Amino acid sequence: MTTKDSRLTGAGVRRRGDRTSVLPDVDDLTDPGSSHGRRASGQARREALAAYGFLTPWLAGMLLLTLGPMAYSLYLSFTRYNLLTPPEWQGLANYQRMLVDPRFKASVGVTLEYVAVAVPLILIVSMLVAMVLNQGIRFLPFYRASFYLPSLVGASVAISMLWRTMFGGDGVFNAFLARLGIEGQSWIGNPDTALYSLVALSVWTFGAPMIIFLAGLRQVPKELYEAAMVDGAGPLRRFFSITLPTLTPLIFFNVLLTTVNAFQAFTPAYVISNGNGGPLDSTLFYTLYLYQRGFTQLEMGYASAMAWALTVVLGLFTAFMFATARFWVYYGDER
């Protein structure tokens, strides 16, 4: 090889037909002192500046509309503040008050019962429907859209008012029971059934987790089921050995998201109980009681303390989920 060929080989050679072009050496591209390195670093700086320019409005909005109010509410949680007079510092009094407030304890109990019943039902129903839709039925897009539609409207004011009408004393549900010879009642007016009327409303909006489960089921290799059937595994064995482990990342996501949303449920309880959490505080959700204290009785300091208590609880729950995920969440690339 000649000296000229050696120089070309060191720089890198690309051939197109009969023409030969010399490419810059990789070291020249990564060396900041070289001309190629200076051009590359200058381009990287320009791209970084452009990225920061696009991010600046979002960061400013995040600071002014989220982080700023959060920091101020944390300060208010240590004060007595009624919107009419300046905040008065009182230390941990608001947090101590929560420990002896009977309605606060009632709201915690109602919310925990709601979460404990609604979240498992939502996940079970959504997974069952997803498994049925995954059987290759006809008109799948239609059924998928139909089941997902309630999630779009959710527990809105209009749907909550419709729910109150359906499960009232003269509602559609009681008319249906009357045709079956069953005496109805005011399901939302009975302290024993009012909360479960709200649970039914939350389960009705199972479409979002159902879509996620359905997408996960369609990614499970059919060869796994075929091999399991050859080995004599029945439907239950295939579900617990193949389907369920494969869906654990999606179960993790849906459990986390559904639980956080359930703890923050507000609109159905407010509309159906007319804002008072009745009957007999049976629908007094935590967020509804927070609203009553903050915006009805103008106890903003106490309401801020309640909001931060809920934030801490949700943060601890999220941390617990991530800490325990390695024990039960299976990823396909793990061996």
Q: Are residues 188 and 46 in the same domain?
A: no
Residue 61 contacts by C-beta under 8 Å, 6 or more apart in sequence? none
Q: Would the pLDDT of 223 be above 80?
A: yes
Provide the H-helix boundaries in the chain: 3-11, 26-30, 35-62, 68-76, 93-100, 102-133, 140-153, 157-166, 172-179, 194-204, 207-217, 222-230, 235-238, 244-263, 267-272, 286-291, 300-328
Q: Please tell me the distance from the alpha carbon of residue 113 to that of residue 104, in angstroms, as a whole number.
A: 14
Domain boundary among 54, 89, 124: 89
Residue 333 lies in a domain: no
Per-residue confidence (pLDDT) for residue 42, from 0 to 100: 74
**Proportion of the chain above pLDDT 70, given as a percent:** 87
Residue 335 lies in a domain: no
Residue 114 lies in a domain: yes
User: What confidence tier does 6 reach under pLDDT thresholds 50, 70, 90?
Assistant: very low
Q: Please tell me the distance from the alpha carbon of residue 13 to that of residue 21, in angstroms, as a whole number.
A: 6
Query: If you average pLDDT over every residue of the chain, what do you get?
Result: 85
Q: Are residues 17 and 160 in the same domain?
A: no
Q: How many CB atoms lie within 10 A of CB 108?
A: 19
User: What confidence tier does 216 reach under pLDDT thresholds 50, 70, 90?
Assistant: very high
Q: Are residues 261 and 276 in the same domain?
A: yes
Boundaries of domain holding 69: 3-89
- 281-284 contacts, C-beta under 8 A, 24 or more apart: 281/103, 281/106, 281/107, 281/110, 282/110, 282/191, 282/192, 282/194, 282/195, 283/110, 283/194, 283/195, 283/198, 284/103, 284/106, 284/107, 284/110
Per-residue pLDDT of 119-155, as tens digits, reads 999 999 999 999 998 887 788 888 888 888 888 877 7
**What φ, ψ does residue 21 adopt, rounded to 5°?**
-120, 145
Instruction: Give the max Cα distance, the chain.
Output: 103
pTM over 0.85: no
Residue 334 lies in a domain: no
Q: Are residues 211 and 126 in the same domain?
A: yes
Q: Are residues 123 and 265 in the same domain?
A: yes
Q: Would the pLDDT of 18 be above 70?
A: no
Q: Are residues 108 and 139 in the same domain?
A: yes
User: What confidence tier does 10 reach under pLDDT thresholds 50, 70, 90?
Assistant: very low
Q: Are residues 205 and 139 in the same domain?
A: yes
Q: Would the pLDDT of 12 be above 50?
A: no
CATH of the domain at 113: 1.10.3720.10
Segment 207-231 shows an average pLDDT of 89
Q: Are residues 236 and 255 in the same domain?
A: yes
Per-residue confidence (pLDDT) for residue 333, from 0 to 100: 58
Domain boundary among 34, 64, 89: 89
Per-residue pLDDT of 290-309, as tens digits, reads 999 999 999 999 999 999 99
Q: Are residues 188 and 317 in the same domain?
A: yes
**What φ, ψ does residue 161 adopt, rounded to 5°?**
-65, -40
In the chain, the number of structural domains is 2
Domain boundary among 89, 107, 127: 89
